[in-house]
A and B are shown apart, each in its own frame.
Chain A
Amino acid sequence: MTHPSEPRPAAPASTRWQRTVYFLIQDLGIAFALLLITLVFALSAPYFATSGNFLKIFVQIAINTVLAAGMTFVILIGGIDLSVGSVLALSTVVGALIMTNPALPVGLAIPLATLACMGVGALCGFINGYVAERWKVPSFIVTLGMLNIASGAARVISKNSTITGLPKSFTDFGTLIIGGVIPTIFLIAIGIIFIGWIILRFTVFGRFIVAIGTNEEAVRLSGHNPRTYKIAAFMLSGLMAGVGGMVYLLRLNVGSPIAGSGYELNAIAAVIIGGTSLSGGKGSIIGTLIGACILQVLNTGLQLLGVGDNFKPIVIGMVVVFAVIIDTYRERYLRTLELR
């Protein structure tokens, strides 16, 4: 007796070709930008396209990549972590103190220091996440507080001095260059990006991070407790700040309470340039790696072109904003493609 309405004709599933184009724009658009910038500098800046220069870039990129990997998780859930720079400083101080402790044999001191760095970072991250979730404080505020707290703690513990005299085997490992072009610390950074990619792509935890960033209420009403996962994301960011501290020790061989100042902003910039949305839910860790590369390539390239240290930040600042503007257009274009 009823007349069911005409079923909407279901559009055909997208072809492999359409999906490839989509993937290229979504995930690799930013890689093209990196390629382009690199090419421009290679053609215009003297010494840019030398293995020595690339080696330098690889070394310089490591810390920011590690921090930005952790930051990606926090930004994906719609938060922010301003404390990573000073948590890094705190962990360099703790790590350096353990390694320079004469009572400890080197073979024990190094692994102990590594664990301590990571532990300090993870603890700071946990506190960030717990306070933000338990009392519903915006993460901007909580981590701003932690920025000061960790920085102060680093100064207290180090008695406001730099700590030198790390074991030789440790510093040798830090300056090791595998195959002549791959520094160990760059390898660590790449390893972390790879692990982050696996987590986001293939684990239940990663699925929750993306889902919470997209619609936290829907996740809650589906019978889950978003709080746990959000705290874990902050912990991960803190952990990466600890690892970043370790990388800092490997590279610069000193523990310092003033290390890492301003690093949080570079990490955020790398994540944003990499296409992760500040409102959460959208982003990729590969993008973050590329974002970190773009920042460093710009930095080095401009330097080689003779742009003064005072002008460099102006250019980089504009690039960050420009990247976000481009990103909104990219989003809009992807919408029109309507992948099925």
Chain B
Amino acid sequence: MSVDSPLLELRNITKRFPGVVALKSVDLVVERGDVHVLLGENGAGKSSLVKLLAGMQQADEGELFFEGAPYQPRTPLDAFRRGIRVVHQELNLMPNLSVAENLLFEHLPRHNGFVDYPALYRRASALLAEVGLDLAPQTRVDRLGIAQMQLVEIARALCYESKLLVLDEPTATLTPREIARLFGIIKQLQAKGVTFIYISHRLNEIYEIGNRVTVLRNGQHVATRPIAELSLNEIVQMMVGRAIHEEHAFHPEVALGAEILRVTGLQRTAHDPAVSFMLRSGEILGIAGLVGSGRTENMRAIFGADRRVAGQIAVDGTPVEIRTPHDAVRHGLGLLTEDRKHQGLLLDLPLAINITLTDLNKISRFGLLRSETEAREATALVQSVQIKTPSLRQIPRNLSGGNQQKVVIAKWLFRGSRVLIFDEPTRGIDVGARREIYELLWTLAAQGKGLIVVSSDLSELLSICHRMLVFSKGTIVGELERADFDQERILALAYQEYLRP
């Protein structure tokens, strides 16, 4: 182990998930004492990389070296032991315990086998002071606001002698004052020799804190450079890249019909900005924006899956009352969630049951199921959306991602829904099957249905949509017709609200 070996080195790291390659032979070097900024669009592979470092997942190929020695964490504990701590984007606090207990959970001060509470609270107070949190250490964590929880999580990472701290979007919920304090702490620790990997969507803050920057794109390493050498524009360009995705021929011949859905002044909570837009029959409307920018949340609110405090919805120009998914479905809406397995499918029940779930009246009489009608209807749909399955008895669990998505589509076609809201329609689906899903979307649009497609894959939206809305921090910041589609402009819009100081 030589002193001049870098702190962390990734060689040729590949990580696959069913249907997708999250990391493709990534090489990365993190120097000692750096604040190394990791950038990339949604799905570029940042989270997968963090999970590998934290020992939550293992690489399929390649090697990791930490302080010059091989590093193969199998569990988060392995990572802690080597001096690597990760502050995850999703908070991992125990809500029913006090702040102090959360901070020092792994090292509760003990006295004769009992927890030494006075000592615990003293040490916790000191840690809280360090991150500038004015909190009683006895406070239960579930009483805290989200920003406070974030700071507690950071303080927890600080209380151990760490060599490498990975911060995944630590500032997402913080106010400028808290951010300034966090940066102060990072610089202090940096001076003591701690190295940081810093992930953020807020591009303006990385100049303030970072030394070096690495850009990932589609699971591949694009570049690692000193941050001072790069302009914001150059960074964005590297993140977007030239469209390396396969171009999908757009089918423009569809004549758009009349307005089919109009949303006016939709607000999920009183603090959220109002969202308004309309959709025409035969149209594919893309919704772009970063994860957490309100895309999914607003779509769920329209569908009645989550609460909203304000907003009118009109179908075919007629105002309708939508409070629950039941209302939405009755008025011809269908929601295809991102999480197909947990929200869309009955994974262990046969295909036929999945497909007919949206409208059991159609296959029953006096409450009794008519299995022949069900089999006939389901078969027709399996053929029309081309689900590759040996039989209707197959369960979705055994199907590929693309075929699972087709089952969900078939479900809504069975119901005869006219407005279909797709959330990440091709997530976890391989390239070939994606093409088939796109064909299916075009066919549905040609039949006069209105389609809304939420996607983190910008090239996907660019190739399949007629029109695009861009969300940034809960607001619709832009609306672009197909003729005006432009990657950089859309990305700039998506970041717009986050760049405001």
> What's the nearest-Cβ distance from chain A to residue B494, in Å?
27
Contact of A257 with B by CB under 8 A: no
Q: How far is the CA of A217 from the CA of B341 in the complex (A)?
A: 11
Given contacts A211-B353, A225-B324, A281-B348, is CB(A340)–CB(B343) below 8 Å? Answer: no
> Is the beta-carbon distance between A340 and B325 smaller than 8 angstroms?
no
> Is the beta-carbon distance between A225 and B347 smaller than 8 angstroms?
no
Of B1-9, B99-107, B356-364, the one touching chain A: B356-364
> What's the nearest-Cβ distance from chain A to residue B387, in Å?
10
Q: How far is the CA of A208 from the CA of B369 in the complex (A)?
A: 11
Q: How far is the CA of A7 from the CA of B342 in the complex (A)?
A: 26
> Is the beta-carbon distance between B305 and A218 smaller than 8 angstroms?
no
Contact of B82 with A by CB under 8 A: no
> Is the beta-carbon distance between A222 and B393 smaller than 8 angstroms?
no
- The interface on chain B, measured as residues whose beta carbon lies within 8 A of the other chain's beta carbons, has a size of 47
Q: Which residues of chain A come closer than 8 Å to B361, judged between CB atoms?
A: 204
Q: Which residues of chain B come closer than 8 Å to A282, judged between CB atoms?
A: 348
Q: How far is the CA of A221 from the CA of B388 in the complex (A)?
A: 25
Of A11-19, A111-119, A261-269, A318-326, the one touching chain B: A11-19
Q: Choose from B326, B390, B435 the contact partner of A224 (Cβ within 8 Å).
A: B326
Q: In the complex, which residue of chain B has the Cβ closest to the Cβ of A215?
A: B346
Given contacts A1-B249, A221-B337, is CB(A214)–CB(B349) below 8 Å? Answer: yes
Q: How far is the CA of A2 from the CA of B360 in the complex (A)?
A: 39
Q: Which of B316-341 contact A (CB under 8 A)?
A: 324-326, 328-330, 335, 337
> Is the beta-carbon distance between A10 and B390 smaller than 8 angstroms?
yes
> Is the beta-carbon distance between A340 and B398 smaller than 8 angstroms?
yes
Q: Choose from B368, B411, B432, B435 the contact partner of A222 (Cβ within 8 Å).
A: B411
Q: Choose from A7, A14, A281 the contact partner of B390 (Cβ within 8 Å).
A: A14
Q: Which residues of chain A come closer than 8 Å to B98, judged between CB atoms?
A: none
Q: Which residues of chain B come closer than 8 Å to A214, judged between CB atoms?
A: 346-349
Q: In the complex, which residue of chain B has the Cβ closest to the Cβ of A208?
A: B360
> Is the beta-carbon distance between B342 and A215 smaller than 8 angstroms?
yes
> A interface, by DSSP: helix, strand, loop or mixed?
loop
Q: Which of A288-340 contact B (CB under 8 A)?
A: 338-340
Q: Choose from B330, B342, B367, B432 the contact partner of A204 (Cβ within 8 Å).
A: B367
- The interface on chain A, measured as residues whose beta carbon lies within 8 A of the other chain's beta carbons, has a size of 38
> Is the beta-carbon distance between A218 and B325 smaller than 8 angstroms?
no
Q: How far is the CA of A194 from the CA of B391 in the complex (A)?
A: 29
Q: Which of B398-446 contact A (CB under 8 A)?
A: 398, 400, 411, 415, 430-433, 435-436
Q: In the complex, which residue of chain A has the Cβ closest to the Cβ of B415?
A: A223
> Is the beta-carbon distance between B353 and A221 smaller than 8 angstroms?
no
Q: Which residues of chain B come closer than 8 Å to A205, judged between CB atoms?
A: 367
Contact of A8 with B by CB under 8 A: yes
Q: Choose from A6, A207, A222 the contact partner of B358 (Cβ within 8 Å).
A: A222
Q: In the complex, which residue of chain A has the Cβ closest to the Cβ of B398?
A: A338
Contact code string A1-45 (vs B, CB < 8 Å = 1, else 0): 111111110111110000100000000000000000000000000
Q: Which residues of chain B come closer than 8 Å to A3, judged between CB atoms?
A: 432
> Is the beta-carbon distance between A211 and B343 smaller than 8 angstroms?
no
Q: In the complex, which residue of chain B has the Cβ closest to the Cβ of A6?
A: B432
Q: In the complex, which residue of chain B has the Cβ closest to the Cβ of A1?
A: B249
> Is the beta-carbon distance between A223 and B326 smaller than 8 angstroms?
yes
> What's the nearest-Cβ distance from chain A to residue B393, in Å?
6
Contact of B90 with A by CB under 8 A: no
> What's the nearest-Cβ distance from chain B to residue A152, in Å?
33
Contact of A240 with B by CB under 8 A: no
Contact of A161 with B by CB under 8 A: no
> What's the nearest-Cβ distance from chain B to residue A282, in Å?
7
Given contacts A207-B353, A222-B357, is CB(A2)–CB(B388) below 8 Å? Answer: no
Interface centre among A12, A19, A214 (most CB of B within 10 A): A214
Contact of A203 with B by CB under 8 A: yes
> What's the nearest-Cβ distance from chain A to residue B315, in Å?
14
Contact of B248 with A by CB under 8 A: yes
Q: How far is the CA of A4 from the CA of B437 in the complex (A)?
A: 11
> Is the beta-carbon distance between A4 and B432 smaller than 8 angstroms?
yes
Q: In the complex, which residue of chain B has the Cβ closest to the Cβ of A214?
A: B346
> Is the beta-carbon distance between A207 and B398 smaller than 8 angstroms?
no
> What's the nearest-Cβ distance from chain B to residue A228, in Å?
10
Contact of B389 with A by CB under 8 A: yes
Q: How far is the CA of A204 from the CA of B374 in the complex (A)?
A: 12
Contact of B83 with A by CB under 8 A: no
Q: Choose from B305, B342, B400, B435 the contact partner of A4 (Cβ within 8 Å).
A: B435
> What's the nearest-Cβ distance from chain A to residue B17, in Å?
17
Q: Which of B459-497 contact A (CB under 8 A)?
A: none
Q: In the complex, which residue of chain B has the Cβ closest to the Cβ of A224?
A: B326
Contact of B68 with A by CB under 8 A: no
> Is the beta-carbon distance between B367 and A203 smaller than 8 angstroms?
yes
Q: Which residues of chain B come closer than 8 Å to A203, judged between CB atoms?
A: 364, 367-369
Q: How far is the CA of A140 from the CA of B430 in the complex (A)?
A: 44
> What's the nearest-Cβ distance from chain A to residue B214, in Å?
31
> What's the nearest-Cβ distance from chain A to residue B13, in Å?
25
Q: In the complex, which residue of chain B has the Cβ closest to the Cβ of A219?
A: B357
> What's the nearest-Cβ distance from chain A to residue B404, in Å?
12
Q: Choose from A2, A10, A217, A220 the contact partner of B389 (Cβ within 8 Å).
A: A10
List 23 A–B pairs whose Cβ atoms lie within 8 Å, in order of A's numbering. A1-B249, A2-B435, A4-B435, A5-B430, A10-B390, A11-B390, A13-B393, A14-B390, A202-B368, A203-B367, A203-B369, A204-B369, A205-B367, A207-B353, A214-B347, A214-B348, A220-B305, A223-B326, A223-B329, A223-B415, A224-B326, A338-B398, A340-B390
4 further A-B contacts with Cβ under 8 Å, apart from A5-B431, A14-B391, A218-B357, are A207-B360, A211-B349, A211-B353, A214-B349
Residues of B whose CB lies within 8 Å of any CB of A are: 246-249, 303, 305, 324-326, 328-330, 335, 337, 342-349, 353, 357-358, 360-361, 364, 367-369, 388-391, 393-394, 398, 400, 411, 415, 430-433, 435-436
Residues of A whose CB lies within 8 Å of any CB of B are: 1-8, 10-14, 19, 202-205, 207-208, 210-211, 214-215, 217-225, 281-282, 338-340
